[in-house]
Structure 1
Amino acid sequence: MNKSSNQPQNKVFMWGYQILLLTVVLFLLFNFLFRNEKIAYVDSAKILNEYKGTLEAKKAYEVKAKVWQSNMDTLTNDVKAAIQKYERSIATMSKTEQDLSRQLIQSKQKQLSDYQRGIQENAKQEDGKLTQAVVSQINAFLTNYGKTHNYKLILIANQLGTIAYARDGLDITAKVIEEINDEYVKGKK
Protein backbone atom coordinates (compact mmCIF):
# COMPACT_ATOMS: atom_id res chain seq x y z
CA MET A 1 0.00 0.00 0.00
CA ASN A 2 2.92 2.22 0.64
CA LYS A 3 4.17 1.78 -2.93
CA SER A 4 0.85 2.55 -4.54
CA SER A 5 0.36 5.74 -2.52
CA ASN A 6 3.89 6.90 -3.39
CA GLN A 7 3.37 6.41 -7.11
CA PRO A 8 1.04 9.37 -7.60
CA GLN A 9 3.35 11.51 -5.48
CA ASN A 10 6.38 10.38 -7.53
CA LYS A 11 4.54 11.18 -10.76
CA VAL A 12 3.61 14.65 -9.51
CA PHE A 13 7.14 15.15 -8.25
CA MET A 14 8.67 13.99 -11.57
CA TRP A 15 6.24 16.07 -13.56
CA GLY A 16 6.98 19.16 -11.42
CA TYR A 17 10.70 18.44 -11.66
CA GLN A 18 10.49 18.27 -15.47
CA ILE A 19 8.52 21.54 -15.64
CA LEU A 20 11.03 23.22 -13.35
CA LEU A 21 13.94 21.85 -15.38
CA LEU A 22 12.33 22.96 -18.65
CA THR A 23 11.67 26.44 -17.20
CA VAL A 24 15.29 26.77 -16.06
CA VAL A 25 16.60 25.58 -19.44
CA LEU A 26 14.33 27.99 -21.32
CA PHE A 27 15.33 30.84 -19.01
CA LEU A 28 19.02 30.11 -19.46
CA LEU A 29 18.63 29.70 -23.21
CA PHE A 30 16.69 32.94 -23.50
CA ASN A 31 19.21 34.71 -21.27
CA PHE A 32 22.14 33.32 -23.26
CA LEU A 33 20.67 34.23 -26.64
CA PHE A 34 19.42 37.70 -25.76
CA ARG A 35 21.56 38.97 -22.92
CA ASN A 36 23.97 41.04 -25.04
CA GLU A 37 21.48 42.28 -27.57
CA LYS A 38 22.37 45.95 -27.41
CA ILE A 39 20.53 48.31 -29.72
CA ALA A 40 21.16 52.05 -29.95
CA TYR A 41 20.80 54.97 -32.31
CA VAL A 42 22.76 58.03 -33.34
CA ASP A 43 21.58 61.41 -34.57
CA SER A 44 23.11 61.69 -38.04
CA ALA A 45 22.76 65.47 -38.30
CA LYS A 46 24.47 65.97 -34.96
CA ILE A 47 27.35 63.69 -35.92
CA LEU A 48 27.79 65.43 -39.28
CA ASN A 49 27.76 68.85 -37.62
CA GLU A 50 30.12 67.99 -34.77
CA TYR A 51 32.56 65.58 -36.42
CA LYS A 52 35.94 67.26 -36.83
CA GLY A 53 36.40 65.59 -40.21
CA THR A 54 33.26 67.37 -41.42
CA LEU A 55 34.55 70.69 -40.13
CA GLU A 56 37.87 70.24 -41.95
CA ALA A 57 36.08 69.20 -45.15
CA LYS A 58 33.94 72.34 -44.93
CA LYS A 59 37.04 74.48 -44.47
CA ALA A 60 38.70 72.87 -47.50
CA TYR A 61 35.56 73.48 -49.54
CA GLU A 62 35.38 77.12 -48.40
CA VAL A 63 39.00 77.68 -49.49
CA LYS A 64 38.15 76.38 -52.96
CA ALA A 65 34.94 78.41 -53.04
CA LYS A 66 36.89 81.58 -52.23
CA VAL A 67 39.24 80.93 -55.16
CA TRP A 68 36.26 80.34 -57.45
CA GLN A 69 34.58 83.50 -56.21
CA SER A 70 37.77 85.50 -56.65
CA ASN A 71 38.07 84.30 -60.25
CA MET A 72 34.41 85.16 -60.84
CA ASP A 73 34.93 88.62 -59.36
CA THR A 74 37.91 89.18 -61.67
CA LEU A 75 35.89 88.16 -64.73
CA THR A 76 32.94 90.30 -63.61
CA ASN A 77 35.24 93.29 -63.16
CA ASP A 78 36.73 92.69 -66.64
CA VAL A 79 33.22 92.79 -68.14
CA LYS A 80 32.30 95.95 -66.21
CA ALA A 81 35.56 97.64 -67.20
CA ALA A 82 35.05 96.76 -70.87
CA ILE A 83 31.49 98.16 -70.74
CA GLN A 84 32.63 101.36 -69.03
CA LYS A 85 35.47 101.81 -71.54
CA TYR A 86 33.04 101.27 -74.39
CA GLU A 87 30.53 103.79 -72.96
CA ARG A 88 33.26 106.43 -72.38
CA SER A 89 34.74 106.20 -75.83
CA ILE A 90 31.77 105.29 -78.04
CA ALA A 91 31.55 108.85 -79.40
CA THR A 92 35.15 108.79 -80.62
CA MET A 93 35.11 105.25 -82.05
CA SER A 94 34.55 104.33 -85.64
CA LYS A 95 31.78 101.88 -86.53
CA THR A 96 34.36 99.06 -86.82
CA GLU A 97 35.88 99.88 -83.42
CA GLN A 98 32.40 99.95 -81.88
CA ASP A 99 31.61 96.53 -83.38
CA LEU A 100 34.92 95.09 -82.13
CA SER A 101 34.33 96.54 -78.64
CA ARG A 102 30.81 95.04 -78.50
CA GLN A 103 32.19 91.68 -79.62
CA LEU A 104 34.88 91.88 -76.95
CA ILE A 105 32.24 92.66 -74.30
CA GLN A 106 30.02 89.80 -75.50
CA SER A 107 33.00 87.46 -75.47
CA LYS A 108 33.86 88.46 -71.88
CA GLN A 109 30.19 88.06 -70.84
CA LYS A 110 30.07 84.60 -72.39
CA GLN A 111 33.34 83.70 -70.66
CA LEU A 112 31.88 84.86 -67.33
CA SER A 113 28.64 82.95 -67.92
CA ASP A 114 30.50 79.77 -68.90
CA TYR A 115 32.75 80.07 -65.87
CA GLN A 116 29.74 80.54 -63.55
CA ARG A 117 28.06 77.42 -64.96
CA GLY A 118 31.29 75.46 -64.69
CA ILE A 119 31.83 76.60 -61.12
CA GLN A 120 28.29 75.65 -60.11
CA GLU A 121 28.78 72.16 -61.52
CA ASN A 122 32.24 71.86 -60.02
CA ALA A 123 30.96 73.08 -56.64
CA LYS A 124 28.19 70.45 -56.68
CA GLN A 125 30.65 67.69 -57.53
CA GLU A 126 33.20 68.84 -54.96
CA ASP A 127 30.53 69.09 -52.25
CA GLY A 128 29.30 65.60 -53.14
CA LYS A 129 32.82 64.16 -52.99
CA LEU A 130 33.59 65.77 -49.65
CA THR A 131 30.23 64.74 -48.18
CA GLN A 132 30.63 61.17 -49.43
CA ALA A 133 34.13 60.96 -47.96
CA VAL A 134 32.91 62.18 -44.56
CA VAL A 135 29.89 59.86 -44.60
CA SER A 136 32.16 56.92 -45.49
CA GLN A 137 34.45 57.77 -42.57
CA ILE A 138 31.48 57.98 -40.20
CA ASN A 139 29.97 54.72 -41.47
CA ALA A 140 33.29 52.90 -41.11
CA PHE A 141 33.65 54.28 -37.59
CA LEU A 142 30.10 53.24 -36.65
CA THR A 143 30.72 49.72 -37.95
CA ASN A 144 33.87 49.44 -35.86
CA TYR A 145 32.18 51.11 -32.87
CA GLY A 146 29.27 48.66 -33.05
CA LYS A 147 31.59 45.65 -33.16
CA THR A 148 33.87 46.97 -30.42
CA HIS A 149 30.99 47.81 -28.06
CA ASN A 150 29.04 44.64 -28.90
CA TYR A 151 25.96 46.29 -30.42
CA LYS A 152 23.58 44.15 -32.38
CA LEU A 153 22.16 47.19 -34.15
CA ILE A 154 22.91 50.92 -34.38
CA LEU A 155 20.17 52.91 -36.07
CA ILE A 156 20.47 56.32 -37.70
CA ALA A 157 18.00 59.00 -36.61
CA ASN A 158 17.46 62.04 -38.79
CA GLN A 159 15.16 65.02 -39.13
CA LEU A 160 12.63 62.99 -41.09
CA GLY A 161 11.70 61.15 -37.92
CA THR A 162 12.88 57.62 -38.64
CA ILE A 163 12.78 56.91 -34.89
CA ALA A 164 9.51 57.93 -33.32
CA TYR A 165 10.39 56.80 -29.81
CA ALA A 166 13.45 55.47 -28.05
CA ARG A 167 13.93 54.70 -24.39
CA ASP A 168 16.42 56.92 -22.54
CA GLY A 169 19.94 55.62 -22.80
CA LEU A 170 19.67 54.33 -26.36
CA ASP A 171 21.01 57.55 -27.93
CA ILE A 172 24.77 57.06 -28.14
CA THR A 173 25.41 60.12 -30.32
CA ALA A 174 27.49 62.02 -27.75
CA LYS A 175 29.71 58.99 -27.07
CA VAL A 176 30.17 58.38 -30.79
CA ILE A 177 31.05 62.02 -31.48
CA GLU A 178 33.59 62.02 -28.68
CA GLU A 179 35.25 58.81 -29.86
CA ILE A 180 35.20 59.63 -33.58
CA ASN A 181 36.74 63.04 -32.91
CA ASP A 182 39.41 61.49 -30.67
CA GLU A 183 40.19 58.97 -33.39
CA TYR A 184 40.28 61.70 -36.03
CA VAL A 185 42.67 63.86 -33.99
CA LYS A 186 44.94 60.85 -33.31
CA GLY A 187 44.94 60.07 -37.04
CA LYS A 188 46.05 63.62 -37.84
CA LYS A 189 49.15 63.36 -35.64
Structure 2
Amino acid sequence: MKNIQVIINIVLLAGLLGIGGYQLIKKDKTVYVDVGLLMQEYKGMKAARGEYEQKVAQWQANADTLIEKFQNEIKAYEKERSKMTQREKELKEELLRNKQMQINQYQEAIQMKAREEEQLLTQNITNVVNDYVSEFGKSKGYKFILGATGQGNILYASESNNITQEIINGLNNEWDIEHQK
Protein backbone atom coordinates (compact mmCIF):
# COMPACT_ATOMS: atom_id res chain seq x y z
CA MET A 1 0.00 0.00 0.00
CA LYS A 2 2.85 2.34 0.88
CA ASN A 3 4.56 1.54 -2.44
CA ILE A 4 1.39 2.39 -4.36
CA GLN A 5 1.17 5.75 -2.59
CA VAL A 6 4.83 6.47 -3.43
CA ILE A 7 4.26 5.51 -7.07
CA ILE A 8 1.15 7.73 -7.26
CA ASN A 9 3.09 10.64 -5.74
CA ILE A 10 5.96 10.14 -8.20
CA VAL A 11 3.54 10.00 -11.14
CA LEU A 12 1.74 13.16 -9.92
CA LEU A 13 5.04 14.97 -9.38
CA ALA A 14 6.27 13.94 -12.82
CA GLY A 15 2.99 15.13 -14.34
CA LEU A 16 3.21 18.51 -12.61
CA LEU A 17 6.84 18.93 -13.65
CA GLY A 18 5.92 17.99 -17.20
CA ILE A 19 3.08 20.51 -17.32
CA GLY A 20 5.26 23.21 -15.78
CA GLY A 21 8.10 22.48 -18.19
CA TYR A 22 5.72 22.53 -21.12
CA GLN A 23 4.42 25.93 -20.06
CA LEU A 24 7.98 27.28 -19.82
CA ILE A 25 8.82 25.95 -23.27
CA LYS A 26 5.54 27.04 -24.80
CA LYS A 27 6.02 30.67 -23.65
CA ASP A 28 2.54 31.98 -24.29
CA LYS A 29 3.14 35.65 -24.66
CA THR A 30 0.78 38.43 -23.73
CA VAL A 31 1.44 41.74 -25.43
CA TYR A 32 -0.33 45.06 -25.60
CA VAL A 33 -1.07 47.92 -27.96
CA ASP A 34 -1.44 51.60 -27.02
CA VAL A 35 -4.83 52.18 -28.64
CA GLY A 36 -4.64 55.99 -28.49
CA LEU A 37 -1.27 56.09 -30.23
CA LEU A 38 -2.43 53.49 -32.75
CA MET A 39 -5.49 55.54 -33.73
CA GLN A 40 -3.41 58.72 -33.83
CA GLU A 41 -0.71 57.27 -36.10
CA TYR A 42 -2.76 54.97 -38.36
CA LYS A 43 -2.94 56.51 -41.85
CA GLY A 44 -6.40 55.06 -42.42
CA MET A 45 -7.72 56.92 -39.39
CA LYS A 46 -5.99 60.14 -40.46
CA ALA A 47 -7.52 59.91 -43.94
CA ALA A 48 -10.99 59.07 -42.63
CA ARG A 49 -10.79 61.89 -40.08
CA GLY A 50 -9.81 64.32 -42.86
CA GLU A 51 -12.79 63.27 -45.00
CA TYR A 52 -15.10 63.57 -42.01
CA GLU A 53 -13.83 67.06 -41.16
CA GLN A 54 -14.35 68.17 -44.79
CA LYS A 55 -17.96 66.97 -44.70
CA VAL A 56 -18.62 68.71 -41.39
CA ALA A 57 -16.99 71.92 -42.67
CA GLN A 58 -19.21 71.83 -45.77
CA TRP A 59 -22.34 71.28 -43.69
CA GLN A 60 -21.35 74.11 -41.37
CA ALA A 61 -20.64 76.41 -44.33
CA ASN A 62 -24.15 75.67 -45.64
CA ALA A 63 -25.61 76.48 -42.22
CA ASP A 64 -23.56 79.68 -42.01
CA THR A 65 -24.87 80.75 -45.43
CA LEU A 66 -28.46 80.16 -44.33
CA ILE A 67 -27.87 82.10 -41.11
CA GLU A 68 -26.30 85.00 -43.00
CA LYS A 69 -29.25 85.17 -45.43
CA PHE A 70 -31.65 85.05 -42.49
CA GLN A 71 -29.84 87.87 -40.70
CA ASN A 72 -29.97 89.95 -43.88
CA GLU A 73 -33.72 89.34 -44.08
CA ILE A 74 -34.11 90.53 -40.48
CA LYS A 75 -32.13 93.70 -41.25
CA ALA A 76 -34.24 94.35 -44.34
CA TYR A 77 -37.41 93.80 -42.32
CA GLU A 78 -36.24 96.22 -39.62
CA LYS A 79 -35.58 98.89 -42.27
CA GLU A 80 -38.96 98.40 -43.96
CA ARG A 81 -40.99 97.76 -40.83
CA SER A 82 -42.09 101.34 -40.32
CA LYS A 83 -43.61 101.39 -43.83
CA MET A 84 -45.59 98.15 -43.33
CA THR A 85 -49.16 97.68 -42.25
CA GLN A 86 -49.85 95.73 -39.07
CA ARG A 87 -50.95 92.73 -41.13
CA GLU A 88 -47.76 92.83 -43.26
CA LYS A 89 -45.66 93.01 -40.08
CA GLU A 90 -47.45 90.00 -38.60
CA LEU A 91 -47.01 87.97 -41.79
CA LYS A 92 -43.32 88.90 -42.13
CA GLU A 93 -42.63 88.10 -38.45
CA GLU A 94 -44.38 84.75 -38.83
CA LEU A 95 -42.29 84.06 -41.93
CA LEU A 96 -39.09 84.98 -40.06
CA ARG A 97 -40.04 82.75 -37.09
CA ASN A 98 -40.63 79.85 -39.47
CA LYS A 99 -37.27 80.41 -41.16
CA GLN A 100 -35.58 80.57 -37.75
CA MET A 101 -37.18 77.22 -36.83
CA GLN A 102 -36.05 75.71 -40.13
CA ILE A 103 -32.49 76.89 -39.58
CA ASN A 104 -32.52 75.47 -36.04
CA GLN A 105 -33.85 72.16 -37.35
CA TYR A 106 -31.20 72.11 -40.06
CA GLN A 107 -28.45 72.75 -37.51
CA GLU A 108 -29.77 69.96 -35.28
CA ALA A 109 -29.95 67.64 -38.28
CA ILE A 110 -26.34 68.31 -39.30
CA GLN A 111 -25.18 67.82 -35.72
CA MET A 112 -26.96 64.46 -35.62
CA LYS A 113 -25.57 63.54 -39.03
CA ALA A 114 -22.06 64.51 -37.88
CA ARG A 115 -22.38 62.27 -34.80
CA GLU A 116 -23.64 59.38 -36.95
CA GLU A 117 -20.82 59.87 -39.46
CA GLU A 118 -18.24 59.95 -36.67
CA GLN A 119 -19.64 56.76 -35.13
CA LEU A 120 -19.61 55.04 -38.51
CA LEU A 121 -16.06 56.23 -39.20
CA THR A 122 -14.88 55.02 -35.80
CA GLN A 123 -16.62 51.66 -36.19
CA ASN A 124 -15.20 51.09 -39.68
CA ILE A 125 -11.65 51.92 -38.58
CA THR A 126 -12.05 49.82 -35.43
CA ASN A 127 -13.16 46.86 -37.55
CA VAL A 128 -10.12 47.21 -39.84
CA VAL A 129 -7.75 47.50 -36.86
CA ASN A 130 -9.35 44.58 -34.99
CA ASP A 131 -9.17 42.33 -38.06
CA TYR A 132 -5.52 43.23 -38.60
CA VAL A 133 -4.59 42.76 -34.94
CA SER A 134 -6.37 39.40 -34.86
CA GLU A 135 -4.48 38.12 -37.91
CA PHE A 136 -1.22 39.61 -36.61
CA GLY A 137 -1.69 37.89 -33.25
CA LYS A 138 -2.41 34.53 -34.88
CA SER A 139 0.62 34.81 -37.15
CA LYS A 140 2.91 35.65 -34.21
CA GLY A 141 1.40 33.01 -31.92
CA TYR A 142 0.30 35.48 -29.25
CA LYS A 143 -2.17 34.22 -26.69
CA PHE A 144 -3.45 37.72 -25.83
CA ILE A 145 -3.12 41.19 -27.33
CA LEU A 146 -4.45 43.71 -24.87
CA GLY A 147 -5.45 47.27 -25.69
CA ALA A 148 -4.13 49.98 -23.39
CA THR A 149 -6.41 53.00 -23.45
CA GLY A 150 -4.82 55.10 -20.73
CA GLN A 151 -7.83 54.69 -18.47
CA GLY A 152 -6.30 52.15 -16.13
CA ASN A 153 -7.24 48.95 -17.92
CA ILE A 154 -3.56 47.96 -17.91
CA LEU A 155 -1.83 49.18 -14.80
CA TYR A 156 1.62 47.90 -15.71
CA ALA A 157 3.21 46.21 -18.67
CA SER A 158 6.82 45.90 -19.65
CA GLU A 159 7.76 48.00 -22.65
CA SER A 160 9.14 44.81 -24.21
CA ASN A 161 5.52 43.63 -24.47
CA ASN A 162 4.44 46.79 -26.32
CA ILE A 163 3.81 45.96 -29.99
CA THR A 164 2.09 49.23 -30.87
CA GLN A 165 4.70 50.37 -33.38
CA GLU A 166 4.70 46.97 -35.11
CA ILE A 167 0.92 47.17 -35.48
CA ILE A 168 1.03 50.79 -36.71
CA ASN A 169 3.72 49.93 -39.27
CA GLY A 170 1.80 46.90 -40.51
CA LEU A 171 -1.50 48.75 -40.77
CA ASN A 172 0.12 51.71 -42.51
CA ASN A 173 1.91 49.40 -44.97
CA GLU A 174 -1.40 47.73 -45.82
CA TRP A 175 -3.08 51.14 -46.14
CA ASP A 176 -0.31 52.37 -48.46
CA ILE A 177 -0.63 49.28 -50.66
CA GLU A 178 -4.43 49.63 -50.88
CA HIS A 179 -4.25 53.35 -51.69
CA GLN A 180 -1.39 53.43 -54.22
CA LYS A 181 -2.46 55.08 -57.42
With normalisation by structure 2, the TM-score equals: 0.86
Instruction: Kindly indicate whether residue 103 of structure 2 is the aligned counterpart of residue 115 of structure 1.
Output: no
Amino acid at match of 2:100: Q
In structure 2, which of residues 28, 34, 45 is the aligned counterpart of residue 37 of structure 1? 28
Bigger RCO of structures 1 and 2 (CA < 8 A, at least 6 apart) = 2
Secondary structure at 2:92 match in 1? helix
Q: Which position in structure 1 is the counterpart of 2:3? A: none
Counterpart-to-counterpart distance in 2, 1:97 and 1:150: 78
Give % identity: 34
Structure number with greater Rg is 1
* 1:73-125, Cα deviation, whole Å (9 max, x unpaired): 11101210111001111111122221221122111101110001111111111
Q: Which position in structure 2 is the counterpart of 1:55? A: 46
Instruction: Kindly indicate whether residue 73 of structure 2 is the aligned counterpart of residue 82 of structure 1.
Output: yes
Q: Mind listing any 5+ residue stretches in structure 1 that lack a counterpart? A: 1-14
* 1:31-68, Cα deviation, whole Å (9 max, x unpaired): 44442412100011111111111101111111110111
Instruction: Kindly indicate whether residue 135 of structure 2 is the aligned counterpart of residue 144 of structure 1.
Output: yes
Q: Which position in structure 2 is the counterpart of 1:186? A: 177
Instruction: Kindly indicate whether residue 77 of structure 2 is the aligned counterpart of residue 91 of structure 1.
Output: no
Q: Mind listing any 5+ residue stretches in structure 2 that lack a counterpart? A: 1-5
Q: Judge conservation of contact 1:36–1:150 (CA < 8 Å) in 2.
A: no
Q: Which position in structure 2 is the counterpart of 1:7? A: none
TM-superposed CA distance for 1:168, in Å, is 3.0
Counterpart-to-counterpart distance in 1, 2:171 and 2:65: 41
Cα distance change, pair 119–25 in 1 and its aligned pair in 2 (3 A):
closer
Amino acid at match of 2:117: E
Instruction: Kindly indicate whether residue 117 of structure 2 is the aligned counterpart of residue 126 of structure 1.
Output: yes
Secondary structure at 1:169 match in 2? helix
Counterpart-to-counterpart distance in 2, 1:91 and 1:40: 75
Amino acid at match of 1:95: Q
Q: Which position in structure 1 is the counterpart of 2:64? A: 73
Counterpart-to-counterpart distance in 2, 1:153 and 1:117: 43
Counterpart-to-counterpart distance in 1, 2:82 and 2:143: 80
Q: Which runs of 4+ in 1 moved over 4 A?
A: 22-25
Amino acid at match of 2:151: L
What is the number of residues matched between the two proteins? 169
